[in-house]
Chains A and B, each alone.
Chain A
Amino acid sequence: MRYLPLGDGERAEMLEVIGAGTVDELFVDVPAEARLAGPIAGLPMHASEMAVERHMAALAGCNLSAGSVPFFLGAGAYRHHVPASVDHLIQRGEFLTSYTPYQPEIAQGTLQVLFEFQTQVARLFGVDVANASMYDGSTACWEAIAMAGRVTRRAKAVLSGGLHPHYVATAATMARFTGDMLDVGVPQLAAEPDDAALIAAIDGETSCVVVQYPDVLGRIPDLASIAEAAHAQGALLVAVVTEPVALGLIEAPGKLGADIVVGEGQSLGVGLQFGGPYLGLFGCRDKFVRQMPGRLCGETVDAEGRRGFVLTLSTREQHIRREKATSNICTNAGLCALAFSIHMTLLGGEGLARLARIGHDRARAAAARLTRIPGVTVLNSAFVNEFTVILPRDAREVVRELADRQVLGGVSLGRLYPQAGELANGLLVATSECTSAGDIEALATALEGVLA
């Protein structure tokens, strides 16, 4: 077996040192009736690298990859061009095969990256501090709700109807077991999000208002007015960003009054990967930092006065405070955070603005072309790089028929909201710098064919 260095001679020498006759003697504490006599029946035996690669390639070949066809899917996962240097750098063994930086003297590479990452995220979001990342956007969103509960000592969160339904479902699962209450709005097919209804739902019991920005339909809520209304009731504003590239164009949520900003960081540096691993972004105001979940990296000095970095404020975390910890999270999304940070470093703030601008450019072109199709309208009055179109019939079927024509045309609202019949004709269309004029024309042509 190519990954196992010990040979039989060495095993025998080691057993002699141990004072055991056979390896099986080392398993003496396992009750005999539970010990397996040999390899589990019915499972394949070991295989060569070539054989495994062939098997996996066959499975990979059964999937329609985004890069191989005109592609317009978004809804919380976005296809961007990841520079080749990003993937090269994250495969350096010193990053790929290192562990959580518990011994900071020999983990300054990871730690400095985390410090840089935290600074990038905080600046992108317009908040004071950000942590070293969470599992993904949806779990970061629940953590923000839980944190707002700790800060305000209230247990009722108001969730905007524009919040991604998977994020709502994740929060609902947790709230059901923790006893928190969620006031969940229903998405309305309107050109603009109903900020007034959201504001009306805030009262003196509200811990936080959770608003996606841009929302799941690609519309842009007025965060400043929601923040003002929340703060007037002693509630926090939690802003959720599923497409961080959009923040190259629209104002940072923290600048508009958001107290906690969370998001999905996959857009930068991390491929689609069928949904994971992604990385949760989590930032907030300084004064809440001791209520934050997750790892934090901080600057300090070593015994010789040289700058260095360590994991800090660890007493918030499970390995120290156990059942009183701010969260049970243990890992972060280290390697994905590295990829995000490298991509962000290559872009810089102005590069990010240009990236957002080009995605918007393609979205405008796509919206203009699609509305020329009879029976197809664009819902949004404003959007960045994702918008909702209303089709003349159920978008779920249309999406499948488009796929039959080798076009991945978008995400149907019926897939996201199977119970909401009034949304069934909605289709989310996302673009990016990867979207070409030819892709837009191919989508429009295929859609014309499907709807004809």
Chain B
Amino acid sequence: MASLLNQIGAVTALNVRSIPQRGWMSVASVVAVALTIAVLLFFLALSNGLSQTVKGSGADDVAIIIREGSNAELNSVVTRDQLSILTTGPGVAQRQGRPSASGELLVIVDGVKRSTSTNANMPFRGIGAEGLALRRGVRITEGRMFNPGTNEIVVGAGLLREFSGFEFGKSIRLRGTTWQIVGVFEAPGTVFESELWADIAVTQSLFNRPNVYQTMRIQLSSPDAVKAFQDWAKTDARLNGLEVLSERAYYARQASQSSAGFMFIGLVLGIMMAIGALAGALNTMYSSVAARSAEIATLRIIGFSGWAAFFGTMVEALMLSAAGGALGILLAFVAFNGRTTSTLGAGFTQLVFQFQLSGGIVFAAIVMAIVIGLVGGFFPGIRAARQRPQLELAAQ
């Protein structure tokens, strides 16, 4: 056993030292693996960042009520009567003697995407007096909150980074009325950071949707209270056709909807490119075996086993693909990890998020690089092990 290890060590050293002889080919296969890994990481980080942002928006102890079957807020309708019935449910938290609940209406307004100067859909949300308190982690970083009953808007910091038209202090005209941007809020890692907020009653009247709500958010006393609240809502006929779920569950559902497509594209492209990179790795290794046929034959004649030749080739392939994988991951970290971007989210409005690599994603990339190395070394390794020493030397 020890002698086999020694033999493998010797052959590996021989292989590795001869890499410079096949310099360009080795570099080519390293770069091919690196690019494959980078493309895979691009889409997985995109999908992950999108999904994390959406998922991160929901709290466990806040119930959200939407119309059954509407897959986005935009399609949902909750009436004013239903709203007041809902605030009488069990476990509804009270703040200063009032139920901590917010009926909300989402309309879409145009903003201008900074990078392309094209119009883009911005979510404009009318929220109730409790709307801010219902969203933990949101804080005003510039200016102040809007005053209820006025044409004032606060804008998310994420929206401001990617889109123009809603800068702090600016006044804008919507539906023949002037609105003032009085504040900027931060809500790191949530969908809210890409929204505009204004008073619900003003939004309803100025957007010509009197007494129409789309969703309602209710602060419950604890995460466990959601179940009891759901059961209670089912028993009231006036609440028929409404769906009650925790904010976290709601956003988890949205997250899978919006990110699944990118994940799919990433995996399909990643696998296709991996097959291409594999072809490159196999070529490199076959020519490595061919170039060293005389050396391998000599070693075999002086008593080295076929296993040594096999593992020597295998280790070289793994080293090349590991170098490619490392380069690809490095490229991903430098080129796009943490970079902010935006796309059309599940609610038909722009959603600002960051490319986000995670341990699992990097692990998937490493696995892919290793698989390329293993398969890329296996077949050439077999060829190396099967060489007939006498024939090889005679041919020289």
Mutual binders A and B: no
A residues sitting closer than 8 Å to B (CB atoms) are none
Which chain B residues have a beta carbon within 8 Å of chain A's beta carbons? none
